[in-house]
Structure 1
């Protein structure tokens, strides 16, 4: 009986999603291993403010795939009790981890924000919003609306900034997050002028999760045989919108501008389209044994991504 259940689970898994998560984790491990002072490898270091590098894709890609996994895991409905428990634990673990890596038990200066807290907030908001509709197209439209609303607010706030663009010391993140959490409880106690995992950024990063959720809904219809085409079309459209937004707000991970959110989500969608075509549509891994060692390695990281990833993104 147990063997039958295991076979059904294995059959229902989307191999390409595990592989993509594995690729993201491997990139994370190797890129973060490059010394920060080695500027010859600029792609391995986060952009100082405007711009985007390879490592900047890691966190938003993972958030996008969290949305994808939620769509698959919640296909029969949300267990709100389990979701509430997971949210509480994510926030608790995030606070504990912050104390460990900063070696600081002073609650007066404990950072309340962080990557795991970001995951927790986005997870709850995604679950709530996707109760409205399960249509991939409508969910993506909602994601575009949210990131555009955020972008409009940032542009309006930044009219008095240099070049009328957000700057490290002139952007809405610092005053809003300081008001909510208190300056001493932000990233570097608010001294950089922004919080890369603050509440304001979380609202923008929500677009990544929603687009990922839409991707998951598309994957659930894989019997149609056109999944990879749908992912490719949606991913291409999202990337086009990213470059449209770039004309108003350049790529910026620190405050998660709409162009950054859409480019990273679109790139994740296109990558999944390519991998789905290879691994789930043509099932190339079953036709050749040459890739088995690589696939085994990537799949192992992809299925156990949480413990390999979350420590990498704390400043």
Structure 2
């Protein structure tokens, strides 16, 4: 029997992707409210929630997707081949976003010799691939053991493997085991802002896989449990609260840190995901209160597409430049984004609210695109 579609999951996915787009596109990076930028290092803000939420959602979603394919008679081999294909496409889209526009549109910094290899979509691809293999070939007990082993291996590496100059057990920026491994294997291909380590690097992907598996366990609970929908909402909230407490407690030994994706961070964020999704599930699927969620559902039905589109548009308007005549008669070359800011938002708001207004405007423009697709029942999947 085909599993029931979770409207709350579409809405939560849309909420998350809209959040990702919003925090990635302020009008000016100089003027951003604290909750709309990442924590400088240890700690967390709203911005540090959105990416792990999406990975967690990937885990929930794949349980329903696999159930549909299995109901159609797909073998494990066919499931894995489909996972490999999708992972390769998502990884390639990530590289495309990183490299775009490949030296055109006044992009004078691009080079294949220094292209960033890690990234958001790349991490999604890797986590989806590995967590899918674990999910397909193990029971729930095996998945829980896998999560424990992923956390334990990360914990042992970060605390007990010494690195040159700094030793073992450090969690300082650029002076930890994860940064050392990034510098060994990704040198010259990391995020330009950090240079010597990458927030989507190799070692931090290990607990990120566990985040995805936490979502898969949640998805299986929703699909298979005989509890009522209200009871499921309650249990998700209780489990989430327990994980929040565990994550906060572990912060005393291993700091909550998004860039390192520490064990404490993974558990803490997993708790938040359970609690927040529990609310979505209670309101939308258990109580049938759906109207408020429609914009998020529209976003969620074309999530990867709108994320890639937003990245392409954001880069394009930042690099597309024009010669503009200034009040003193001279000319200056400025980007399309700057023209929009200076002529629409800056005259109306303070600098920080102007920056926020642009982000909201950008989300609205992206929403218009996916709303048209939604109305035409066009859902672009990979």
1:241 aligned partner? 246
Deviation at 1:215, TM superposition (A): 0.9
Q: 1:161 to 1:52 in 2, by over 3 A?
A: farther
Deviation at 1:99, TM superposition (A): 1.1
1:112 aligns with 2:110: no
Counterpart contact for 1:91–1:116, Cα < 8 Å: yes
2:22 aligned partner? 30
1:143 aligned partner? 147
Larger Rg: 2
Which stretch has the larger CA shift, 160-169 or 267-276?
160-169
Q: 1:164 to 1:149 in 2, by over 3 A?
A: closer
1:12 aligns with 2:4: yes
Counterpart contact for 2:183–2:197, Cα < 8 Å: no
Q: 1:24 to 1:81 in 2, by over 3 A?
A: same
Deviation at 1:197, TM superposition (A): 1.0
Q: 1:275 to 1:138 in 2, by over 3 A?
A: farther
Highest RCO, 1 vs 2 (Cα 8 Å, sep ≥ 6):
1
1:46-125 → structure 2 map (5 Å cutoff): 46-75=38-67, 76=70, 78=76, 79-100=79-100, 103=103, 105-125=110-130
Deviation at 1:172, TM superposition (A): 1.4
1:267 aligned partner? 272
Q: Matched residue of 2:188: which SS?
A: helix
Deviation at 1:58, TM superposition (A): 0.6
Q: Matched residue of 1:184: which SS?
A: coil
1:309 aligns with 2:270: no
- Stretches of structure 1 lacking an aligned partner (at least 5 in a row): 1-7, 286-291
Deviation at 1:20, TM superposition (A): 1.2
1:173 aligned partner? 178
1:289 aligned partner? none
Counterpart contact for 1:26–1:301, Cα < 8 Å: yes
Counterpart contact for 1:158–1:170, Cα < 8 Å: no
Higher helix share goes to which structure?
Answer: 1
Deviation at 1:164, TM superposition (A): 5.5
Deviation at 1:82, TM superposition (A): 1.4
Q: Distance in 2 between matches of 1:154 and 1:12?
A: 42
Deviation at 1:17, TM superposition (A): 0.9
- TM-score (ref. length: structure 1): 0.84
Name the Cα RMSD after superposition. 2.8
How many residue pairs get matched? 296
2:297 aligned partner? 299
Deviations 1:65-106 (A, max 9, x none): 011111111122651221111122122222222111574552
Counterpart contact for 2:168–2:177, Cα < 8 Å: no
Q: Distance in 1 between matches of 2:122 and 2:23?
A: 23
- Stretches of structure 2 lacking an aligned partner (at least 5 in a row): 104-108, 316-382
1:185 aligned partner? 189
Q: 1:188 to 1:157 in 2, by over 3 A?
A: farther
2:256 aligned partner? 251
1:228 aligns with 2:233: yes
Q: 1:32 to 1:169 in 2, by over 3 A?
A: closer
Q: Matched residue of 2:54: which SS?
A: helix
